[in-house]
């Protein structure tokens, strides 16, 4: 069985190598037909990688403990679902998963471009398969998921209990889909540079890929924070850990790219800048993998030091040097078609938004890499505390929030002062009204920035609602469409724009939640015997008795806590601690009572045999709106990428005066 897996990976390596060669050769005169052969090579890579993944799953499910990664990350008592997810518990397995996603993405690119972009495809295939060559060679020659051990252990070590939950089942694959997806804009960018076809075609062909990858990255990051919040039991969700930063940096770059692309499509500007963003986004995605796999930085979840660091570093250097050399050689072809006419125009706002996002990514990079840099320069490893990241991210985040509101209301090219006054009147009124509750919340003045976030959020929401209002009014009055029909038309006729605004609403929700949690959360520890009551931040907690259970998998203790506020009992929380017997590993089971305005978050620290429960309580205001905001963002993205009706059909419907309701 392991032989089948190894053979499949070797074949994948060979096929990828062949596809690179055939694709590049097909660019020679009279060798066109080789491209089809190269594309068959892509299918072969997909088929062989899939075989390897299936083999790995069979090994995991059939408890083949002679395989190192099965023995290391699974055991007999592990449920079948976690046996499936144990695939990406190991280093080799997670690289295999990445490679599998890459092969799927490459096949999708081949399928969707059978008749389009034929001139770009040879280079696109070569780049994607070049990345595949790297991953399959690492998987074949340096860290094989099919390594065997002897003597064969009687049982496996089991999967880290921290990873045994739904968030860890979904978070790594989602992030990987996002990372892999970002390699496709990169491949198209390189193809456009190589073939000198630098018009906007390559950008429109990958628009949906970029948006979807960005969506997966977003969901991956949010589920990761949700995991940290529910599993790690420290009451927070984000700690600027190197691994978190590794996922955030490509996300920030991709966000900048998603916005600046519109400037290129509309005005033919920022063409070099977009190339730089695509290249840096992909490099940062690789860099993220390098950070987590190299052990260069200590992290809460440094995945065990490995020897893969140098290989990834080499790949990153090759990608960076190659791409930028290519870019420089094509600079003369990337002249801007237009120039910036005013500092108050849509394109200018996009430019500010880009500078802020890239600036933040740079600051995060700087802060993350500071220990490595200081050690190289001074010989002393100096780390940067969370305070640095918060201090930099807060003002940049607020400025971004401001531009989120302002941007869509400012016309392209140049804005007339009269038009601006008309459009911003109501949002400004709303913002001024919002100052009152904001000042009330920030009584002591120390939380002025949280108050500012609330005011800016109100302003931004008003701007977005105004956009819908204006759009719908025009359609209602000029098109004679009913009100609901007019709003529906906004989504069907201009999906990207109005879907994008929904994404913005999600972002506003998340920023407000982050600001409120950061400013107004409170924490307290209690030691309660059975029947005793203690208080934290106005909430009373009563110990109503502990429980102890054990099965062949784990030992558990728990405590029932009655929670009340001002004599009104509103919840019973049951925090607990599991100790997994296979590894003698503790795992806290936090209990959370969620309401729109706050989370009551309780961790059981310990329970003595005589019934003394020690608990940690966190009151986190507005926490729910981080997750709600994430959901809203996904919704908006689905609206934005949903395929539009075919132009002909849409035109026919418009001619018939159809009602324009959303039918999908």
Partner 1 sequence: MLASAGVKSRSRFAIALTLAVGLGAWLIWTSIGGSLETYTNPSGLVKTTDATTYRLNGTVAPGSPADAAERAQTAEGLRFTVRDKDRPSVTVPVAYRGSVPDAFKDGREIVVTGHMENGVFQAERGTLITLCPSKFMEEQAAKGKTMPDGMPKEPAGT
What is the footprint of partner 1 within residues 601-630 (CB under 8 A)? 603, 605-608, 614, 616
Q: Are 136 and 12 in contact (CB under 8 A)?
A: yes
Residue 130: CB minimum distance to partner 1, A: 28
Q: Considering the complex, what minimum distance in angstroms separates the CB of residue 252 from partner 1?
A: 14
Contact present, 630 and 514 (Cβ < 8 Å): no
In the complex, minimum distance from the CB of residue 544 to partner 1, in angstroms, rounded to a whole number: 19
DSSP code per residue over 18-32: HHHHHHHHTTSTT-T
DSSP 605: E
| Residue among 322 and 359 whose Cβ is closer to partner 1 | 359
Binding flag, residue 78, partner 1 (CB under 8 A):
no
Using CB under 8 A, which of 527, 571, 628, 635 touches partner 1? 527
Q: Between 201 and 585, whose beta carbon lies closer to partner 1?
A: 585
Among 50, 63, 201, 336, binds partner 1 (CB under 8 A): 336
CA dist 360 and 629 (Å) reads 21
Closer of 60 and 502 to partner 1 (Cβ): 60
The one-character DSSP state at 161 is G
x-or-dash pattern for partner 1, window 24-63, by CB under 8 A? ----------------------------------------
Tell me which residues in 229-268 interact with partner 1 (CB under 8 A): 232-235
Minimum distance between the CB of residue 244 and partner 1, rounded to whole angstroms? Answer: 13
Under the binding rule (CB under 8 A), the answer on residue 296 touching partner 1 is no
Total residues belonging to the chain? 664
Nearer to partner 1, 343 or 469 (CB): 343
Least spacing, CB of residue 620 vs partner 1, in Å: 15
- Among 112, 204, 329, 391, which residue sits at the site for partner 1 (rule: CB under 8 A)? 391
> Of 370, 412, 468, 520, which one interacts with partner 1 (CB under 8 A)?
370
C-alpha closest to that of 627 among 327, 278, 226: 226
DSSP class of residue 331 equals G
Residues 353, 359, 365, 368, CA torsion sign: negative
Binding flag, residue 153, partner 1 (CB under 8 A): yes
CB of residue 323 to partner 1, shortest distance in Å: 17
- Residue 363 near partner 1 by CB under 8 A: yes
Please give the structure tokens belonging to residue 448: 């002025």
Q: How far is the CB of 585 from partner 1 (least distance, A)?
A: 7
365 binds partner 1 (CB under 8 A): no
Beta carbon of residue 381, minimum distance to partner 1 (angstroms, whole number): 4
CB of 302 to partner 1, least distance (A): 6
496 to 525: interface string for partner 1, x by CB under 8 A: -----------------------------x
Least CB distance to partner 1 at residue 138 (A)? 18
Nearer to partner 1, 147 or 565 (CB): 147
Q: Please select the residue that binds partner 1; options are 154, 377, 446, 655, rule is CB under 8 A.
A: 154
Name residue, tokens 């499936």: 84
Q: Is position 269 an interface residue for partner 1 (rule: CB under 8 A)?
A: yes
**DSSP-derived secondary structure for 294-307:** H-SS--TT-----T
Q: Which is nearer to partner 1, 154 or 377 (CB)?
A: 154
Please give the Cα distance from 212 to 219 (Å, whole number). Answer: 11
DSSP string for residues in 403-421: HHHHGGGSPSS---HHHHH
Pick 259 or 475: Cβ nearer partner 1: 259
Per CB under 8 A, the list member of 371, 466, 575, 636 interacting with partner 1 is 371
DSSP assignment of 385-404 equals -HHHHHHHHHHHHHHHHHHH
- C-alpha dihedral over 122, 127, 129, 130, to 10 degrees? 130
- Between 119 and 372, CB nearer to partner 1: 372
- Cα dihedral sign, 549-551-556-558: negative
* Contact residue for partner 1 among 302, 442, 560, 637 (CB under 8 A): 302
Q: How many CA atoms lie less than 13 Å away from 290 in the CB half-sphere?
A: 17
Burial of 150 (0-12, 13-18, 19+ CB in 10 A): exposed
The DSSP code for 53 is H
Q: Restricting to residues 581-600, which ones interact with partner 1 according to CB under 8 A?
A: 581-588
Q: Which residues contact 648 (CB under 8 A, 6 or more apart)?
A: none
**175 contacts 217 by C-beta, under 8 angstroms:** yes
Of 608, 601, 653, 651, the C-alpha closest to 623 is 601
- Residue (72 or 466) nearer to partner 1, CB: 72
For position 152 contacting partner 1 by CB under 8 A, the verdict is no
Q: How many residues bind partner 1 (CB under 8 A)?
A: 80
Q: How far is the CB of 76 from partner 1 (least distance, A)?
A: 11
- For partner 1, the binding residues in 530-559 under the rule CB under 8 A are 550, 555, 557
Part in contact with partner 1 (CB under 8 A); list of ranges 219-227, 387-395, 495-503, 567-575: 387-395
Phi, then psi, of 464 in degrees rounded to 5:
-65, -45
* CB-side neighbour CA atoms (13 Å) of 641: 19
Interface stretch with partner 1, choices 153-161, 180-188, 209-217, 249-257 (CB under 8 A): 153-161
Q: Are strands 522-528 and 591-594 parallel, antiparallel or unpaired?
A: unpaired
Bridge partners (DSSP) of residue 67 are 148
Report the nearest approach of partner 1 to the CB of residue 474 (Å): 31
Q: In terms of C-beta density within 10 A (0-12 exposed, 13-18 middle, 19 or more buried), how is residue 416 classed?
A: exposed
């Amino acid at each position: 069985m392991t032989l089948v897996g190894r053979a499949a990976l070797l074949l994948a390596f060979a096929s990828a190598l062949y596809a690179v060669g055939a694709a590049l050769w097909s660019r020679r005169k009279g060798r066109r037909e080789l491209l089809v052969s190269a594309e068959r090579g892509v299918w072969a890579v997909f088929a062989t990688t899939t075989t390897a993944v299936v083999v790995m799953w069979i090994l995991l499910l059939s408890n083949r403990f002679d395989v190192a990664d099965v023995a290391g990350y699974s055991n007999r008592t592990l449920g079948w679902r976690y046996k499936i997810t144990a695939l990406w518990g190991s280093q080799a397995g997670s690289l295999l998963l990445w490679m599998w996603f890459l092969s799927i993405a490459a096949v999708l690119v081949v399928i969707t471009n059978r008749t389009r972009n034929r001139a770009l495809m040879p280079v696109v295939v070569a780049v994607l398969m070049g990345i595949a060559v790297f991953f399959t060679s690492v998987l074949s020659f340096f860290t094989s998921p099919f390594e065997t051990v002897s003597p064969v252990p009687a049982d496996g070590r089991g999967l880290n209990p921290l990873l045994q939950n739904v968030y860890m089942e979904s978070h790594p694959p989602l992030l990987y889909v996002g990372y892999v997806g970002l390699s496709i804009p990169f491949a198209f960018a390189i193809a456009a540079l190589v073939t000198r076809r630098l018009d906007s075609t390559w950008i429109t062909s990958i628009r949906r890929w970029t948006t979807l990858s960005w969506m997966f990255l977003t969901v991956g990051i949010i589920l990761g924070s949700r995991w940290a919040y529910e599993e790690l039991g420290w009451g927070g969700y984000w700690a600027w850990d190197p691994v978190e930063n590794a996922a955030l940096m490509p996300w920030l770059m991709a966000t900048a790219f998603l916005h600046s692309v519109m400037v290129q499509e509309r005005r033919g500007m920022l063409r070099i800048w977009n190339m730089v963003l695509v290249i840096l986004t992909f490099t940062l995605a690789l860099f993220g993998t390098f950070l987590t796999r190299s052990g260069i930085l200590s992290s809460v979840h440094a995945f065990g030091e490995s020897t893969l660091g140098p290989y990834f570093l080499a790949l990153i250097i090759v990608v960076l040097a190659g791409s930028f050399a290519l870019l420089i050689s094509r600079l003369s072809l990337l002249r801007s078609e237009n120039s910036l006419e005013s500092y108050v125009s849509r394109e200018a706002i996009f430019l500010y938004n880009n500078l802020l996002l890239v600036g933040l990514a740079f600051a995060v990079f700087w802060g993350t890499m500071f220990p490595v840099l200081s050690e190289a320069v001074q010989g002393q490893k100096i780390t940067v505390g969370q305070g640095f990241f918060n201090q930099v991210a807060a003002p940049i985040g607020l400025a971004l929030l401001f531009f989120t509101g302002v941007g869509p209301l400012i016309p392209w090219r140049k804005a007339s002062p009269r038009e601006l006054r008309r459009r911003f009147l109501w949002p400004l009124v709303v913002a001024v009204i919002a100052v009152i509750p904001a000042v009330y919340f920030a009584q002591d003045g120390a939380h002025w920035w949280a108050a500012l976030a609330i005011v800016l959020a109100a302003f931004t929401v008003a701007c977005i609602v105004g956009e819908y209002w204006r759009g719908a009014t025009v359609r209602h009055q000029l098109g004679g469409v009913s009100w609901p029909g007019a709003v529906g038309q906004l989504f069907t006729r201009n999906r990207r724009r109005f879907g994008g605004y929904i994404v913005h609403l999600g972002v506003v929700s998340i920023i407000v939640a982050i600001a409120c949690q950061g400013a107004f959360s409170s924490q307290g520890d209690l030691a309660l015997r059975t029947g005793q009551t203690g208080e934290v931040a106005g909430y009373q907690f009563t110990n109503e008795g502990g429980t102890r259970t054990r099965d062949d998998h784990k030992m558990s203790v728990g405590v029932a806590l009655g929670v009340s506020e001002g004599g009104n009992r509103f919840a019973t929380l049951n925090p607990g601690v599991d100790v997994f017997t296979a590894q003698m590993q503790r795992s806290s089971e936090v209990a959370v009572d969620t309401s729109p305005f706050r989370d009551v978050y309780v961790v059981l620290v310990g329970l003595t045999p005589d019934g003394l429960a020690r608990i940690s309580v966190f009151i986190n205001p507005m926490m729910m709106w981080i997750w709600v905001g994430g959901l809203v963002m996904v919704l908006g993205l689905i609206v934005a990428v949903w395929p539009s009706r075919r132009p002909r059909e849409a035109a026919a419907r418009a001619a018939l005066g159809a009602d324009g309701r959303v039918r999908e």
